[in-house]
Structures are given as C-alpha cells and as structure tokens.
C-alpha cells in the first residue's frame, strides 16, 4: 500500500470527525458480517457431521436417540448444548444449498458428499452474508419451502433484524401477500413502514449464538448507553433498596423454551415469600402481548426452576412512557388466598413502582 493512500491534506476538524466515523462504521459492519458468517457456517458444518454419522457412522446404533446428549456431554463446549445441536442438524437439512459456498480443500469431502446442490431459492452466498444464525432459527420454524423462501427474500430486501422478521411472520405477511390482488403494493407498504436500521455491532453481540461463539456470557457486555438498560440498572438498585426480602439473582436471564431464546429483564428471589420474582420492563405503551410474555416466563419458572418447598413464582410487568405508568402483577396458577395477601404486603407496592417509573421517565425530558 502506498504511503499517500490515506492522506487527506488540509483536513479540518469536522472532516476529521467524519472520516473517523466512516471508518468506525465500515469496520463494525465488516466485523458484524464476519462473525455472523462464521457462526452460521460453523453451525451448518456441525449439522452436516451429525447427519452423516446418523446415516453412515460405524457405531451409530450404539448411541441412537441419545446421540446429541452424548455429543454435548463429551465436548462440554459452550454453545453446543443438545438444543443447539438439534438446531444445527435441522439447519443443515433445511439448507443443503449452503454447501455451494465451500471451495476450500478442507471441506472438499463435504462438497462431494452433499448431492442436492441444485436446490432453487436464494443463493447460498447471499443467505450466509445477509442473514445471521438467529434469523435462520426463526426461518427453520417454517416447514413450507416456498413460504420460507418468501421471508428470506423479504428479510434480505428490507434488511430486517430478527425481531422484525419474527413480527412479520406473526402478522401473516406471507398469507396476506397471497390474498392480496396487488402483492407488490403490499410489499412496498410493508417495507416502507419499516425503518431501515443500520447494522450495529451491539445488535450482533446481543445474539445468544454470538455470546456462545465468542465465549462470552450475556453479563459480560452491559449497554449503559441504552435507555432500557439504564432503567433496568436503576430498577435493580431501587428494588433492593426497598428491602422486602429480595435477593438479586440475575439480569437479562436467558430462558430456553423449545428452540427459542428469551431474556427476562430481572430475576430476584424473595427469602420471605420463598419464591422467585420476575420483572419485565417495557419502554413505551402497554401491549397485551407483554402480559402473555411475562406469564410464559412465570410458568417456565414454575415448571423448570421452582423447588418443591418454594411458593409459585411472581411476575411484575412495568410499562413506562412520558404520560403514564402501568404496573401489573402476574401469578401462575396460584389460588392460595393467604399467599396472595402476603405477597401484596411483602413485595414493592404498585404505588412505589409507579412513582419510580414516573421519576425515571421524567429524566427523559
């Protein structure tokens, strides 16, 4: 490289800031893309090896249905849980065309083994470059090939993040497109209504698969600059200061339900009530699905985490905006009147929580 390639003569301060900003954005995007590609390719190759062993392994009968459990236990590598290994196998089966990206001699045997390389759909290179593995996890839940391809195309075209992809699938965008007399018009309306979001390295780090791939814990990265994270941090301090027997247990607690990851904002254990207290904070207006989400977490804790001598877990939903605040308590299948009365006394009151929310929201002005 010539020494004068990066020289910019007579650069003023504004130009200096602009150049640094441009370099930062370019390399963040490059790092983002590189991480996503490596995660997806790694997971696909792992899925390939699992399927190959199940079909042709010398001693495959010895392991049977416990193969994935044995692999996970033997490797003991973060990110290679039984749930993830099942996803990787499904990923390989659903996307055999990804084999077309392999040119290295290291994976020559894979290219020779995978026979169906002519499958139609979005080119493998574009899929791997434009979609993260978290996108693929959402897409794998769609069995219909045409429907899945539709969402692949629209997701890539609109640069959707994972949350937007999930929202569009839930809104039956594919089905509505099929019923529309002018699907192109519907597409332009949908894509036009979605704010184009610039790739950000923070979005990559938030992915549970990226945490595992990089050997990080979700607690290793704290986003102090975001409004929601700042509120959660303050809420944690606020609830502990109130006492009420609360012991802090986790922040952004990862919960695996089926093949999907969820994150509960705050988890406490109340030593007086002998139960878990799950707190969800939503920045913005109340939506009914928030109650369903919180109750799902509460039911999960009741089934998977609660000990025999524990009382049923309790959920607290906090919704904030600049005009009002909402606090809702949610319990899972607990009809014990005495316990209900007791938790209303031992937990922070709605009035205390509403006051906290309004104080925090006023700082936004």
Assess if residue 97 is contained within a domain.
yes
pLDDT for 127 equals: 93
Let me know whether 173 and 110 are in one domain: yes
Let me know whether 233 and 151 are in one domain: no
Boundary of a domain, candidates 150, 168, 203: 203
Assess if residue 51 is contained within a domain.
yes
d(CA 233, CA 227): 10
Q: CA 259, 264, 229: angle at the middle one, nearest 5?
A: 125
Boundary of a domain, candidates 203, 232, 262: 203
pLDDT for 24 equals: 77
pLDDT for 44 equals: 93
Show the 3-state SS of the chain: CCCCCCCCCCCCHHHHHHHHHHHHHHHHHHHHHHHHHHHHHHHHHHHHHHHHHHHHCCCHHHCHHHHHHHHHHHHCCCCCCHHHHHHHHHHHHHCHHHHHHCCCHHHHHHHHHCCCCCCCCCCHHHHHHHCCHHHHHHHCCCCCHHHHHHHHHHHHHHCCCHHHHHHHHHCCHHHHHHHCCCHHHHHHHHHHHCCCCCCCHHHHHHCHHHHHHCCCCHHHCCCCCCHHHHHHHHHHHHHHHHCCCEEEEEEEEEEEECCEEEEEEEEEEECCCCEEEEEEEEECCCCHHHHHHHHHHHHHHHHHHCCCCCCCCEEEEEEECCCCEEEEEEECCCCCHHHHHHHHHHCCCHHHHHHHHHHHHHCCC
Let me know whether 37 and 170 are in one domain: yes
CATH of the domain at 323: 3.40.1350
Let me know whether 165 and 122 are in one domain: yes
Instruction: State the virtual CA torsion across 116, 168, 209, 296 in degrees, nearest 10.
Output: -120
Let me know whether 177 and 285 are in one domain: no
pLDDT for 66 equals: 85
pLDDT for 318 equals: 84
Let me know whether 250 and 283 are in one domain: yes
Let me know whether 171 and 248 are in one domain: no
Assess if residue 2 is contained within a domain.
no
pLDDT for 4 equals: 46
Let me know whether 259 and 174 are in one domain: no
Q: What string of pLDDT tens digits covers the 365 residues of the chain?
A: 444 445 556 677 777 778 777 887 777 777 777 888 899 999 999 999 899 888 887 777 777 778 888 888 888 888 888 888 999 999 999 998 888 887 655 565 665 555 554 556 788 889 998 999 999 999 999 989 999 999 999 899 888 888 888 888 888 888 888 877 777 777 777 666 665 454 455 555 567 777 777 776 665 655 444 556 667 778 878 777 777 788 888 888 888 887 677 888 889 898 888 889 898 888 767 777 888 888 899 999 989 899 999 988 888 888 876 556 777 787 755 555 555 666 666 677 778 888 877 777 666 55
Assess if residue 356 is contained within a domain.
yes
Let me know whether 198 and 231 are in one domain: no
pLDDT for 185 equals: 73
Boundary of a domain, candidates 141, 170, 203: 203
Pairing of strands 314-320, 325-331: antiparallel
Assess if residue 29 is contained within a domain.
yes
Assess if residue 3 is contained within a domain.
no
**How far, CA to CA in Å, does 237 sit from each of 178, 227, 242, 268, 356?**
50, 16, 9, 12, 11
Domain extent for 52: 13-203
Let me know whether 62 and 159 are in one domain: yes
Q: Among 237, 234, 226, 223, which Cα is nearest to 359's?
A: 234
Assess if residue 208 is contained within a domain.
no
pLDDT for 136 equals: 95
Let me know whether 39 and 168 are in one domain: yes
Let me know whether 123 and 31 are in one domain: yes
Asked if 205 and 184 count as a contact pair (C-beta separation under 8 A), the reply is no
Assess if residue 278 is contained within a domain.
yes
Count of residues making up the chain: 365
d(CA 176, CA 182): 10
Number of domains comprising the chain:
2
d(CA 132, CA 44): 12
Asked if 186 and 177 count as a contact pair (C-beta separation under 8 A), the reply is yes
pLDDT for 133 equals: 92
pLDDT for 194 equals: 60
Burial of 16 (0-12, 13-18, 19+ CB in 10 A): exposed
């Amino acid at each position: 490289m010539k020494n004068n390639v990066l020289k910019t003569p007579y650069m003023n301060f504004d130009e200096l800031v602009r150049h640094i900003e441009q370099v930062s954005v370019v390399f963040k995007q490059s790092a983002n893309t590189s991480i996503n590609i490596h995660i997806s390719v790694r997971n696909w190759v792992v899925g390939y090896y699992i399927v190959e062993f199940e079909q042709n392994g010398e001693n495959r009968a010895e392991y049977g249905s416990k193969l994935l459990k044995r692999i996970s236990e033997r490797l003991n590598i973060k990110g290679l849980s039984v749930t993830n290994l099942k996803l990787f196998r499904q990923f390989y089966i659903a996307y055999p065309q990804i084999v077309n990206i392999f040119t290295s001699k290291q994976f020559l045997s894979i290219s020779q083994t995978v026979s169906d390389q002519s499958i139609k759909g979005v080119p493998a290179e574009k899929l791997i470059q434009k979609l993260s593995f978290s996108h693929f996890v959402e897409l794998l839940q769609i069995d219909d090939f045409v429907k899945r391809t539709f969402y692949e195309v629209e997701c890539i075209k609109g640069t959707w993040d994972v949350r937007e992809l999930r929202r569009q699938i839930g809104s039956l965008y594919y089905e509505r497109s099929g019923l529309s007399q002018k699907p192109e018009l519907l597409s332009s309306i949908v894509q036009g209504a979605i704010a184009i979001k610039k790739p950000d390295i923070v979005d990559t780090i938030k992915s549970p698969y990226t945490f595992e791939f990089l050997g990080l814990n979700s607690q290793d990265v704290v986003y102090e600059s975001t409004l929601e994270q700042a509120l959660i941090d303050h809420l944690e301090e606020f609830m502990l200061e109130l006492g009420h027997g609360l012991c802090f247990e986790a922040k952004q607690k990862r919960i695996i339900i089926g093949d999907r990851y969820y994150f509960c904002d705050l988890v406490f254990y109340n030593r007086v009530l002998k139960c878990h207290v799950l707190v969800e904070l939503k920045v913005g207006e109340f939506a009914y699905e928030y109650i369903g989400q919180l109750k799902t977490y509460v039911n999960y804790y009741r089934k998977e985490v609660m000990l025999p001598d524990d009382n049923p877990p309790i959920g607290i939903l906090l919704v904030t905006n600049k005009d009002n605040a909402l606090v809702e308590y949610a319990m899972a299948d607990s009809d014990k009147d005495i316990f209900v009365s007791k938790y209303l006394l031992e937990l922070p009151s709605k009035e205390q929580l509403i006051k906290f929310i309004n104080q925090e929201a006023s700082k936004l002005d």
